[in-house]
Structure 1
Amino acid sequence: MKFLVTTVFVAWILISSAQCASNTWCYHLPTCNEAVWPAIVPLYCDGTRQSPIDIVPSDAKPDPELTQFTFHNFDSKSALESMENTGQTVKVNFKSGMTISGGGLSEPYDSLQFHLHWGNGASHAGSEHTVDGKRYPMELHIVSGKSHYNGNLTQTIADPTGLSVLGFFIEEMSNDEIEEPASWKMLTSYLGSILYKDDSVLMEPGISLDDLLDGVDRTNYYRYLGSLTSPDCNEAVVWTVFKEPIKVSKDLIDLFSTTVHISDSSSPFMINNYRNIQPMQPVMTN
């Protein structure tokens, strides 16, 4: 039963809790892009604690309670279960058993999935958060929910800290760095199997979240309270944005904007699937 509930939670967490919203919002058309999200979901998308934001490091206040995280099962090479094209992003679902704790969080959170936001190739940046106005090529979000809710959606989104999202910037490797890396080459090899909306593919054991985050210092980060960055824009997220980016080669970054489509073969490639900056929220740092 817990597995079933968690699976439902995973499906919901990206596309929102309201089916009407998930069927009408988009990034690419003026009739449904972010300019009209506040009209589609006025209760949340027009709220006062919205994400993403521009992080200004000089304004971030030190917080001694922001300790190191504990990442349970992030080293498992069989925990990444499936990849899917949602029509708005590429999402990777996790098997049960992955958790995060520490990091100033009030309790453990069950890690459910990650998804990505990008622009149009490495030359057109598409991260959601920015730092001093700088936008990175991509951003990866690991979504988790408070463990004690056991996937109860109503309770989770009613809690202003019910969700935890870990944000990682993705930056293009410099010419003197080793290309790829191998974990990201394996990850992007699945993109050809999810060309169109609702396509999904099971992932073979071989890469872990730790592999994908290799080289990133996960002890230094920013913290603020915000929202989901797509409808319903629920203001229930404890945001952790890591200072150090993931390094990925230009060719692999470009694959996201040149492989997957928004719907069918006649639809555009999925590009610029990021929300623009929202009003500033107080930011803490460790």
Structure 2
Amino acid sequence: MMTVILTCLATYFLHMVCSVSGSISWCYHSPSCSEVTWPIIAEKHCNGTQQSPINIVTANVKANANLTSFTYVGYNDSTALTVIKNTGTSIQVTLDPKKMRVAGGNLPGRFASTEFHLHWGNGSAMPGSEHTVNGKRFPMELHIVNKPVSNTSDSLAVLGVFIEASNETGKPESWKTLTSYLTRIVKAGDKASLFRNFSMDDLLSGVDRTKYYRYLGSLTTPNCNEGVIWTVFKDPIRVSRDLIDLFSTTVYINNSSNSPLMTNIFRSVQPVNGRIVMSQVAGTKTPGLLNPTSIAANLSPSLMYPILSLTFLYCVLAFL
């Protein structure tokens, strides 16, 4: 019976993820819609207990032998990156989900890669990654959003990659090409087709994708839906400072003549609330993140029994 209840509990959390973009009007800087208002304007999720991003404290990370290597399909395909767009809150690149897939890494099945977007501060000197490691914030962070291929899971899997500044100029070439499109999408709503110049593998050059952190969190923008499977790679992409600076000096948050530049587009780190951050590093084997008992273990005792009671009732009603 306990196994059934815990399985239902895991399913409940995964079903809380609905979509990457909600219908709520939100922003980063205006007092009427900035981050401090998100728990009010998106009350259902943005004030939840499993929010992202978080500060990853490496001393508290638990080794998990279940966190194996990933399998990537289409990440070397330059035709799979189709459109780049200024959304008004980020720069987003549309990926062809029929060509790009990811599996393994203890994910519950195969996932289709649908888009990636970026978070940054105000130039390479004022960092703007969303996750931090031991309090360190990186200049930028790239998020690859993945949706399940089958109907066996409603969860999203997001791959997060830090971007570190290098002292080179115009490197790497893939990022020089990517940033060359920024002048075509200066205003919010602008978009441009990508011309098969680079692949996702090219953009992730230098990142050892067998080394990563794993935890259960949320989307980092409203609606802040929880149940997101987060993978944060330990190795950063090294991009030259001049290219990083282009993001905060080229694109604007709207299409008016007095629009502010798009800067400091990241959410503050959120409370961990007892969640366990795991790593692929070899060590004592612990239950997988998506194992129902692992999810239950991440809940405090004060929350466990009320939730189990409600979940049991939910399961009983579902079988009637």
Q: Which segments of structure 1 move beyond 6 Å, counting only runs of 4 or more?
A: none
TM-score by length of 1: 0.88
The equivalent of 2:143 in structure 1 is 141
How far apart are the structure 1 equivalents of 2:121 and 2:247? Answer: 9
The equivalent of 1:108 in structure 2 is 110
Of the three residues 21, 24, 48, the one matched with 1:15 is: 21
Q: Note the alpha carbon deviations across 1:227-259, whole angstroms, 9 max, x for none.
A: 000000000210000000000000100000001
Of the three residues 212, 220, 223, the one matched with 1:229 is: 220
Instruction: Give the letter for the 1:279 counterpart.
Output: P
Q: Secondary structure at the match of 2:229?
A: strand
Q: Note the alpha carbon deviations across 1:188-219, whole angstroms, 9 max, x for none.
A: 01111111111110100120000000111100
Determine whether 1:275 maps to 2:281.
no
Q: Secondary structure at the match of 2:226?
A: coil
- Report if the CA contact (8 A) 2:186-2:252 is conserved: yes
How far apart are the structure 2 equivalents of 1:85 and 1:254? Answer: 16
Q: Secondary structure at the match of 1:210?
A: helix
How far apart are the structure 2 equivalents of 1:29 and 1:270? Answer: 12
How far apart are the structure 2 equivalents of 1:13 and 1:206? Answer: 29
Offset of residue 143 of structure 1:
0.2
The equivalent of 1:52 in structure 2 is 53
How far apart are the structure 1 equivalents of 2:150 and 2:230? Answer: 19
The equivalent of 1:69 in structure 2 is 70
Q: Secondary structure at the match of 2:164?
A: strand
How far apart are the structure 2 equivalents of 1:102 and 1:124? Answer: 35
Q: Secondary structure at the match of 1:91?
A: strand
Q: CA RMSD for the aligned pairs?
A: 1.4
Determine whether 1:122 maps to 2:124.
yes
Instruction: Give the letter for the 2:176 counterpart.
Output: K
Q: Note the alpha carbon deviations across 1:26-63, whole angstroms, 9 max, x for none.
A: 00112110101000011100101100000011100000
How far apart are the structure 1 equivalents of 2:177 and 2:145? Answer: 21
Instruction: Give the letter for the 1:170 counterpart.
Output: I
Of the three residues 97, 100, 119, the one matched with 1:98 is: 100
Instruction: Give the letter for the 2:252 counterpart.
Output: H
Q: Secondary structure at the match of 1:236?
A: strand
List runs of 5+ in structure 1 lacking aligned partners.
Answer: 1-11, 150-154
Instruction: Give the letter for the 1:282 counterpart.
Output: I
- Report if the CA contact (8 A) 2:217-2:229 is conserved: yes
The equivalent of 1:33 in structure 2 is 34
Q: Secondary structure at the match of 1:15?
A: coil
Instruction: Give the letter for the 2:269 counterpart.
Output: I
Q: Secondary structure at the match of 2:79?
A: coil
How far apart are the structure 2 equivalents of 1:74 and 1:210? Answer: 5
Q: Secondary structure at the match of 2:267?
A: coil
- Report if the CA contact (8 A) 2:115-2:144 is conserved: yes
Distance 1:271 1:14, change over 3 A: farther
Of the three residues 278, 285, 309, the one matched with 1:284 is: 278
- Report if the CA contact (8 A) 2:169-2:241 is conserved: no
The equivalent of 1:7 in structure 2 is none
How far apart are the structure 1 equivalents of 2:231 and 2:124? Answer: 24
How far apart are the structure 1 equivalents of 2:276 and 2:56? Answer: 9
Of the three residues 206, 212, 215, the one matched with 1:215 is: 206
Determine whether 1:197 maps to 2:220.
no
The equivalent of 1:8 in structure 2 is none
Aligned-pair identity (%) = 52
Q: Secondary structure at the match of 2:39?
A: helix
Of the three residues 253, 258, 263, the one matched with 1:262 is: 253
TM-score by length of 2: 0.79
Offset of residue 179 of structure 1:
4.8
List runs of 5+ in structure 2 lacking aligned partners.
Answer: 1-17, 281-320
Offset of residue 183 of structure 1:
0.2
How far apart are the structure 2 equivalents of 1:200 and 1:14? Answer: 19
Offset of residue 14 of structure 1:
4.2
How far apart are the structure 2 equivalents of 1:238 and 1:31? Answer: 30
The equivalent of 1:6 in structure 2 is none
Of the three residues 161, 164, 172, the one matched with 1:171 is: 164
- Report if the CA contact (8 A) 2:54-2:131 is conserved: yes
